[in-house]
Structure 1
Amino acid sequence: MKKPLFLIFQILFLDQASKFWVKTHMTIGQEIKVIGNWFRIHFTENPGMAFGMELSGENGKLVLTLFRIIAAILIFIYLYRLTKKDSHPLLLISISMILAGAIGNIIDSMFYGVLFNESTFYEPAKLLSAEEGYAPLFHGHVVDMLYFPILKGQYPSWVPLLGSKEFIFFRPVFNLADSSITIGVFILILCQSKCYKSKDKESIPAQSDIPEETDNPETFETRILSDNEQV
């Protein structure tokens, strides 16, 4: 269990460190170009799920946070059981990454509303300031900042609903926790046959490895004589 926990803590540290820096040094909507125009740090806050999806209302936010906590607990139990079964390393890595990403976003949802004042278009947020937090416990917003507008164009006019509108790939803004979950799921899908390969099947020798008994008359006669001598 030590290696999975080490990986989880590494991802959590990088995720939270990047969010803390963005939250306390950037204003809402501010951008920093990292590599040309296709990789930017773009500060936005997400009150819902990954890539901007959300449930409506305050109750929806609370339900989403509680669901994340329950899911993280179940994933941790599953990971613990996998470590006891001496599972494939890729399986442990993928589940650890999914769990780390889930915990990273849970921290935002649970505590950021209490720890920080509100981020605005004019001023970065402050940690544990004299002002009250911007939201109660379990109602914080997830900090997103990774933006990869790799391709830009325009939809053809004949495309329903999207005709003549701007096309951007990849439009959603996300964070390291989202990336960890996505990569973990991809590893799980791509290496499914290896990850869930039965140990019992691996231990069964191939048919070619099983020595065949010969019908050599001399061998058969030798066995009979040996049995008679023992009698």
Structure 2
Amino acid sequence: MKQEVKKSHGLCFLWLVVVVFVLDLASKFFILANFELYDSLQLLPIFSITYVRNYGAAFGLFLGQRWMLAIVAIVISLVVMRILYKSPKKDYLNNACFSLILGGALGNLFDRLYHGFVIDFFDFHIGDWHYPVFNVADSAICIGVILLILGSIGSPKRKDKVTS
């Protein structure tokens, strides 16, 4: 009797998706439990915890487009799940990057569906200038994308053959 060989794939990195999702939700529920809207706690001269609500996407784009943004997040999440499924288990960097992106996307999707807005609270500032306030999910997405880009620059997947 022939045994079927189970294909190993990047879905084994779903643990990282869960870690990002749980950290994101825990941090947001901490903010909700301890801060009123726009309350701010300065921790460093350039960094505060400031509770704000984002009704749009990154940097406040697409304000008021809750359902469109939710649908986009669902589609992106499904695409990333497919990428993880197709990816070999040993492609550690890409699997970790896509898992960070997926965990962040699901964290913000939860906010959008549950609250109707995304809870942001990391506030970097110098004087009166403030970088757009963000959260754990946004950080995971950005880290995942940056590492994907750096990984693709640093290690090409194929080498062109020279023909004579």
Q: In the alignment, is the contact (CA less than 8 A) between 1:105 and 1:142 conserved in 2? A: yes
Q: In the alignment, is the contact (CA less than 8 A) between 2:11 and 2:81 conserved in 1? A: no
C-alpha offsets along residues 190-225 of structure 1, whole Å, 9 cap, x if unaligned? 110456624xx6xxxxxxxxxxxxxxxxxxxxxxxx
Out of 120, 140, 147, the position equivalent to 2:123 is 147
Which residue does 2:56 correspond to in 1? 48
Which residue does 1:181 correspond to in 2? 141
AA of the residue aligned to 2:37: I
After superposition, where does 1:1-231 map in structure 2 within 5 Å?
1=10, 3-34=12-43, 36-56=44-64, 60-82=65-87, 85-112=88-115, 140-149=116-125, 151-152=126-127, 168=129, 170-193=130-153, 197-198=157-158
AA of the residue aligned to 1:191: G
AA of the residue aligned to 1:93: A
Following TM superposition, by how much is the alpha carbon of 1:86 offset from its aligned partner in structure 2, in angstroms? 3.8
3-state SS, counterpart of residue 197 of structure 1: coil
Following TM superposition, by how much is the alpha carbon of 1:147 offset from its aligned partner in structure 2, in angstroms? 0.6
Q: Distance in 2 between matches of 1:43 and 1:171?
A: 14
3-state SS, counterpart of residue 48 of structure 1: coil
User: Which of the pair has the greater relative contact order for Cα pairs under 8 Å at 6+ separation?
Assistant: 2
- Normalised TM-score (structure 2): 0.83
AA of the residue aligned to 1:103: L
Closer, same or farther in 2 for the Cα pair 1:195/1:75, shift >3 Å?
A: farther
- Normalised TM-score (structure 1): 0.60
Closer, same or farther in 2 for the Cα pair 1:87/1:39, shift >3 Å?
A: same
AA of the residue aligned to 2:51: F
Task: Report the count of equivalent residues.
Answer: 150
AA of the residue aligned to 2:49: I
Following TM superposition, by how much is the alpha carbon of 1:53 offset from its aligned partner in structure 2, in angstroms? 2.0
User: Gaps spanning 5+ residues in structure 1: where?
Assistant: 113-139, 153-165, 202-231
Following TM superposition, by how much is the alpha carbon of 1:89 offset from its aligned partner in structure 2, in angstroms? 1.1
Q: In the alignment, is the contact (CA less than 8 A) between 1:43 and 1:145 conserved in 2? A: yes
Give aligned-pair identity as a percent.
33
Following TM superposition, by how much is the alpha carbon of 1:142 offset from its aligned partner in structure 2, in angstroms? 0.4
Q: Distance in 2 between matches of 1:30 and 1:144?
A: 12
User: Gaps spanning 5+ residues in structure 2: where?
Assistant: 1-9, 160-164
Q: Distance in 1 between matches of 2:135 and 2:156?
A: 29
C-alpha offsets along residues 52-79 of structure 1, whole Å, 9 cap, x if unaligned? 22244xxx32111111111111111111
